[in-house]
Structure 1
Amino acid sequence: MANDDELYSGYDDQGRVGSPAGGSVFQPLDGSAGFTPAAASMPPGTASTRLGTGMRMGTAATDASAARPMTSNRGAGFSSNPKGRFDPFGQANKGMASAGGSSSLLPRKQAASTEEVAREMDKKVHEVLEASVLLSQQKDAQAALEKALDARKKERQLAKFRESAGQGDNHPPELGFAVELQLASCYAASKLYGEALELYGALVKSKNLQVQAGRFRVNMGNIYFEQGKYPAAIKMYRMALDALPAAAAGPRARLMTNIGLAFVQLAQYGDAAAAFENAMDTAADHQAAFNLLVCSYALGDTEGMMAAFQRLLAVPGLADSQDDDGEERGNDSGTDEEGAAAGDEGLGSSLTSLKHRFRDGLRDAAGGRDQMKQEQKQQQASITKCVLTAAQLLAEGLADKGGFAAGFDWAEEQLRQAGLGKIAAEVLLAKASRHLANKEVEAAAAVYKTFERRGPALRAAAATNLSFLYLLEGDLAAAAKYTDLALKTDRYNAQAHVNRGVVLLEAGSLEEARQAFRDAAAIQPLCVQALYNLGVVNLRLGEPEAAMLPLRKLHGLLPDQPEVVHCLALAADMSGDSAGAIRWLEVLTSLVPHDPGVLCKLGAIYHRLEEEVRSLGYYQDAHRVWPVNLDVISWLGAFHVRSEVYERAIPYFELAAAIQPQEVKWALMTASCYRRIGAYGPALKHYQSIVAVQPGNVEALRYLVAMCQELGRPGEVERYAEMLRRAERAEAVAAAAAATSSAAAMQQQSGDNADFQQTTLDTQAAAGTAAGSGISSLDSRLAKNRRPTGQDGPAGAGKAAADDWGAEPLGEDLLPM
């Protein structure tokens, strides 16, 4: 315990904070502060180092006379008033050797040499030139021309830079040649032929490009050909031909073909034929042979046509268009026929057709990945088209000797000898089509029937054409027969489905016809016949919304087809969309500006919308285009009657009476209009003419009796009144007889005699009421007569004022539509 006391001895002897003996906290430690060696040798306790918050002395509490022992921080580079940027390491004063004052730690950039600048400019020229070429391939002529002009500008800047640097010999001439050639091509593509010819002329005169001068002349010849300057084009082609070596057979043959085409444009068919013969002798080509046949046809040289056709078939590269698996399909077809005999015909045919379609799809997909194969197919299709067209021209050329059939037969024989059976069959189909064009139906049917034993594709095509042929003749049974044959051969034949739908539509089976058209559209979505007929059958079924979809799609394919636009307007009108119907009809008027039916339809829609002014305008336009349309005449006359402008209604009713002289209503309307304007003389003459033709006309007799009473003619009143009584009795008897016969027919159907007797009595009573009804007919429903002021009226006008035979409003039965 004593040791512990010695350990803490002298602890309380230290100067306390804030005590007078201890002085300040920052007071120097010396002996006067009560410091003892024992205390100095021992570490102070925790209580001696920690000062509480309440014990901390502020700045004001310190002794002002004592020096403040603060350490200076100026040596670390800090200052309370800095004169420059913070740079403790003095880096700003090091490495200022460069002119720009850059630090020596960064790499120095050396000045570019002349060759480097030239290479950079050359690179930019090539970039712009390549961009122009790419735009030319994309058919963007304007953008390609702009890039070519930019490339020319940059190339000239490069040439001037190298000349100024003394390196003019290092500038490659090929770069300038490439730029000028691209610019000339862009000028030609932009139809700037003058600038293109000027550039090509400069290139031809260049001494360094004499080897390429022939090609430049070919381009110049093409430009002259585009301009229609065929003699200049022929001159350029011949100059290019002279520059070509004899070993270049292909280019020489093409140039000769161009020369022949220019002669064709000049109608010099003899020179053109000679050029095409030279081209064939140099390098045989299908197009040159076809052109030779055309020139022979223009010259009327049948022997030359036959020789040219034979040379066309002898050109290498002509292959039959039949598929490679034609024989396999024939075997499959025979197997299917045996299966059909066994009783599973439909399933076997469907599976076989599906298998063929699947195999064709795989083959087409593989061909789509093979661009060369696609090009070969396109080339073969072009050659086949040339052969078929040549055969048709040959048939036309031989028509004077043995008829066109002889020409087709000769061409078919030549094709079969050359081993081109499929093309020969297509020639036969063209022969049948020619028979149809000449309205030789029996001959065409005979040709089509020869395909019943051919391959599936040909048999389906012939059956489809036969069904269409019988549809034109109205033989629905035969059309249905061959349509079924075509679908049996190939159920994915869209045209056969269309023919089947037409047969069902004519037979009245609208639902089945719609399904057939849907099948055709599903197989061939762009089949215009299927889409149009589908829209029509939907309209007949009263489903305008369903008709709009195929018709809109068809309108996208054929925007200028009036029938499609008319169906769209009809569908919109049926669905209650008057605005849409007007819009489509206005589009239709732009396609057929003077169609009275369209104008009349527009007038009817505006009349329904109660826009009488626009309706009147369209009806008047329709009347000017087709003045004998009775519906339009009747509407115009009725409009003027409703407007109480009877003078303008009279010409329309008189025109209608001239068109239909046997119809008495037009004469009655004319007479009524004359009476309404106070022209009693013409009105009386019209009524008398009606009675002269039809003495039993009750309406005219009633008006005559009334007018004669007003005019004070008692003798005529008695005569016409007697005629009126006889006519009314005859009319009542006829009405009773008609009602009796009608009731008898109803009694036979129902077997109820009581109902029959009651109906007869009611009918007789109604007839008696009608006989004594007085003047209550056509003219009695007109408005009250307005005699013009100052016009002399007939005798007995005061008595007529009390007669209300013309005071009733206008009835709709006056205006038949």
Structure 2
Amino acid sequence: MMQNVHLAPEIDEDDLYSGYNDYNPIYDIEDDPHTNLVTEAIKNDHLRQMERERKAMAEKYIMTSAKLIAPVIETSFAAGYDWCVEVVKASQYVELANDLEINKAVTYLRQKDYNQAVEILKMLEKKDSRVKSAAATNLSALYYMGKDFAQASSYADIAVNSDRYNPAALTNKGNTVFANGDYEKAAEFYKEALRNDSSCTEALYNIGLTYEKLNRLDEALDCFLKLHAILRNSAEVLYQIANIYELMENPSQAIEWLMQVVSVVPTDPQVLSKLGELYDHEGDKSQAFQYYYESYRYFPCNIEVIEWLGAYYIDTQFWEKAIQYFERASLIQPTQVKWQLMVASCFRRSGKCFSLRFLVRLCTDLGLKDAQEYARKLKRLEKMKEIREQRIKSGRDGSGGSRGKREGSASGDSGQNYSASSKGERLSARLRALPGTNEPYESSSNKEIDASYVDPLGPQIERPKTAAKKRIDEDDFADEELGDDLLPE
């Protein structure tokens, strides 16, 4: 069964345009009172937006121009700002005068003239709510940096009460609460600041630190990762991320983020020493030494780094290298006895006797009675060392003389005959002059040799001791006197 199809009636083409000129929809909108009001509101809103944009642009130009010309148009930047303030007050942008005064106070802060800055800010504190909030916020920050948390909290309250939607005021109030240890309440102020201005990076950074204090490491890491998306090359944010990974016992991730910090600030000794510490905990001594050494190169006064490097050279038995670091530590901390004891220990382990000198110095500084005993031993040891050096030197000279004699004996035949004959004549003369005999010299081949010996001094007289025993005593002293018993207990 076919359904009935209703077709549209045929329309002539001329009928489509027949009433076009008679119907104008614009006229209908303008004639409608309600539609006319909506259109007028849209136009007014657009005009107000344009006016706000132009005003903001003009204020930006005025403030930028004042910052540029104030330091150069007068003898001082303060006089230049005063001139700019007077000019602005005479214009239609009179409300910018207070902003210029705040910029003047901030310039004083950058020059570390805190008294002048505080004086200007306290004067602006009596102005309207917006200016009062800005001045109180800066005063709160000043007192916070000066560790005067009571004054910082007081001005932070003034700033918040003057303008509850000021994110900087809320952040400063959170800082004062954080300093008092109330981390939960500080987090609430930071959250409120972020609700008023989601781009307030200071509040986001501080809330990350607050979560770290509360041991809510996952939330802290989330805050810093969000901040890293905003500030890609911030060394502080990268370091905080690495620190949280270390607290989460993930050293590999901590090392990876610290490497990014080094790429941003390659000469930061604290970051380099932290990398060395992490590699040391991982058992990679070579990498740890590399970063500890770099840290020491940029900042050679870190006692922890110096101590690690000295201990590293002791483990590798490079005593002379270790002595250099412990001597530097003793210069940085001259009242710490352990550094000089470490130097003495390194000298002792390296086989040198300089440990006695440090013992004398330590005992003298501490007023111990052992100082004289160690000084006596040191003097004796230095004398023995001098004697030993002289013997070595004389032995070298003697060996050189004997070599010269041997070389001389290898000369021509005439020289040999002459020296032999002269020696024979002198020997014959000496033998003839020996006491107890009048017999001339005879060859030993013709007479039997008498091997008996009679001491001319007699058996009852003790002969003088030779230097052999003395040499043994000196060597024994060198082996025994430098042991651990020399160190004070």
Q: 1:378 aligns with which of 38, 41, 53?
A: 53
Q: Which residue number in structure 2 is paired with residue 644 of structure 1?
A: 317
The yes-or-no answer on 1:686 pairing with 2:382 is: no
Query: Per the alignment, in what secondary structure is the counterpart of residue 388 of structure 1?
Result: helix
1:464-517 Cα shifts (integer Å, max 9, x gaps): 233233334444333322322222233222111111011122333333223222
Query: Per the alignment, in what secondary structure is the counterpart of residue 300 of structure 2?
Result: coil
Q: Distance in 1 between matches of 2:189 and 2:147?
A: 19
The yes-or-no answer on 1:612 pairing with 2:285 is: yes
The yes-or-no answer on 1:403 pairing with 2:79 is: yes
Query: Per the alignment, in what secondary structure is the counterpart of residue 403 of structure 1?
Result: helix
Cα offset, 1:689, TM superposition: 3.2
Cα offset, 1:448, TM superposition: 3.9
Q: Distance in 2 between matches of 1:425 and 1:632?
A: 50
Classify 1:705/1:604 alpha carbon distance in 2 versus 1 (closer, same or farther; 3 Å).
Answer: farther
Q: 2:342 aligns with which of 669, 673, 682?
A: 669
Q: Which residue number in structure 2 is paired with residue 795 of structure 1?
A: 475
1:772-817 Cα shifts (integer Å, max 9, x gaps): xxxxxxxxxxxxxxxxxxxx9963389969x9969xxxxxxxxxxx
Q: Distance in 2 between matches of 1:625 and 1:651?
A: 17
The yes-or-no answer on 1:571 pairing with 2:238 is: no
Q: Which residue number in structure 1 is paired with residue 469 of structure 2?
A: none
Cα offset, 1:587, TM superposition: 0.8
Q: Distance in 2 between matches of 1:465 and 1:405?
A: 19
Classify 1:367/1:452 alpha carbon distance in 2 versus 1 (closer, same or farther; 3 Å).
Answer: farther
Amino acid of the residue matched to residue 514 of structure 1? A
Partners of 1:394 and 1:407 within 8 A in 2: no
Q: Distance in 2 between matches of 1:436 and 1:647?
A: 50
Q: Distance in 2 between matches of 1:531 and 1:515?
A: 12
* Structure whose alpha-carbon radius of gyration is higher: 1
**Matches for 1:403-442 after TM superposition, within 5 Å:** 403-415=79-91, 418=92, 420-442=93-115
Q: Distance in 2 between matches of 1:535 and 1:369?
A: 44
Gaps of 5+ in 2: 1-40, 385-471
Q: Distance in 1 between matches of 2:182 and 2:252?
A: 33
Amino acid of the residue matched to residue 521 of structure 1? L
Aligned residues: 356
Classify 1:793/1:407 alpha carbon distance in 2 versus 1 (closer, same or farther; 3 Å).
Answer: farther
Partners of 1:398 and 1:406 within 8 A in 2: no
Gaps of 5+ in 1: 1-365, 714-791, 807-817
The yes-or-no answer on 1:561 pairing with 2:234 is: yes
Classify 1:668/1:383 alpha carbon distance in 2 versus 1 (closer, same or farther; 3 Å).
Answer: same
Query: Per the alignment, in what secondary structure is the counterpart of residue 526 of structure 1?
Result: coil
Q: Which residue number in structure 1 is paired with residue 222 of structure 2?
A: 549
Partners of 2:63 and 2:100 within 8 A in 1: yes
Cα offset, 1:604, TM superposition: 0.9
Q: Which residue number in structure 2 is paired with residue 476 of structure 1?
A: 149
Classify 1:703/1:560 alpha carbon distance in 2 versus 1 (closer, same or farther; 3 Å).
Answer: farther
Classify 1:442/1:581 alpha carbon distance in 2 versus 1 (closer, same or farther; 3 Å).
Answer: same
Partners of 1:535 and 1:548 within 8 A in 2: yes
Amino acid of the residue matched to residue 412 of structure 1? V
Cα offset, 1:407, TM superposition: 0.4
1:197-254 Cα shifts (integer Å, max 9, x gaps): xxxxxxxxxxxxxxxxxxxxxxxxxxxxxxxxxxxxxxxxxxxxxxxxxxxxxxxxxx
Q: Distance in 1 between matches of 2:343 and 2:72?
A: 65
Cα offset, 1:382, TM superposition: 1.2
Q: Which residue number in structure 1 is paired with residue 420 of structure 2?
A: none
TM-score by length of 2: 0.62
1:53-83 Cα shifts (integer Å, max 9, x gaps): xxxxxxxxxxxxxxxxxxxxxxxxxxxxxxx
Q: Which residue number in structure 2 is paired with residue 459 of structure 1?
A: 132
Query: Per the alignment, in what secondary structure is the counterpart of residue 649 of structure 1?
Result: helix
Q: Which residue number in structure 2 is paired with residue 297 of structure 1?
A: none
Amino acid of the residue matched to residue 682 of structure 1? F
1:276-315 Cα shifts (integer Å, max 9, x gaps): xxxxxxxxxxxxxxxxxxxxxxxxxxxxxxxxxxxxxxxx
Partners of 2:137 and 2:159 within 8 A in 1: yes
Cα offset, 1:686, TM superposition: 3.0
Cα offset, 1:582, TM superposition: 0.5
Amino acid of the residue matched to residue 406 of structure 1? D
Q: Distance in 2 between matches of 1:664 and 1:443?
A: 47
Partners of 2:279 and 2:287 within 8 A in 1: yes
Classify 1:688/1:444 alpha carbon distance in 2 versus 1 (closer, same or farther; 3 Å).
Answer: closer
Q: 1:599 aligns with which of 272, 284, 295?
A: 272
Q: 2:177 aligns with which of 501, 504, 507?
A: 504
Q: 2:297 aligns with which of 624, 628, 646?
A: 624
Classify 1:697/1:566 alpha carbon distance in 2 versus 1 (closer, same or farther; 3 Å).
Answer: farther
Cα offset, 1:626, TM superposition: 2.2
1:653-688 Cα shifts (integer Å, max 9, x gaps): 233233333322222222222222222x32333333
Partners of 1:391 and 1:407 within 8 A in 2: no
Q: 1:487 aligns with which of 132, 142, 160?
A: 160
Q: Distance in 2 between matches of 1:540 and 1:406?
A: 45
Partners of 1:368 and 1:374 within 8 A in 2: no
TM-score by length of 1: 0.39
Q: Distance in 2 between matches of 1:685 and 1:438?
A: 51
Q: Which residue number in structure 1 is paired with residue 24 of structure 2?
A: none
The yes-or-no answer on 1:583 pairing with 2:248 is: no
1:509-560 Cα shifts (integer Å, max 9, x gaps): 3332232222222322221111122222333444433321222222221122
Partners of 2:204 and 2:227 within 8 A in 1: yes
Partners of 1:412 and 1:428 within 8 A in 2: no
Q: Distance in 2 between matches of 1:514 and 1:793?
A: 77
**Matches for 1:77-476 after TM superposition, within 5 Å:** 374-393=49-68, 395-396=70-71, 398-400=73-75, 403-415=79-91, 418=92, 420-451=93-124, 454-476=127-149
Cα offset, 1:435, TM superposition: 4.4
Q: Which residue number in structure 2 is paired with residue 787 of structure 1?
A: none
User: What is the aligned-residue RMSD (CA, Å)?
Assistant: 3.9
Classify 1:654/1:395 alpha carbon distance in 2 versus 1 (closer, same or farther; 3 Å).
Answer: closer
Query: Per the alignment, in what secondary structure is the counterpart of residue 95 of structure 2?
Result: helix
Q: Distance in 2 between matches of 1:702 and 1:541?
A: 59
Classify 1:589/1:794 alpha carbon distance in 2 versus 1 (closer, same or farther; 3 Å).
Answer: farther
Partners of 2:152 and 2:176 within 8 A in 1: yes
Cα offset, 1:413, TM superposition: 2.9
Report percent identity of matched pairs. 30
Partners of 1:518 and 1:530 within 8 A in 2: yes
Cα offset, 1:588, TM superposition: 0.9
Partners of 2:211 and 2:217 within 8 A in 1: yes
Classify 1:411/1:674 alpha carbon distance in 2 versus 1 (closer, same or farther; 3 Å).
Answer: same
Q: Which residue number in structure 1 is paired with residue 462 of structure 2?
A: none
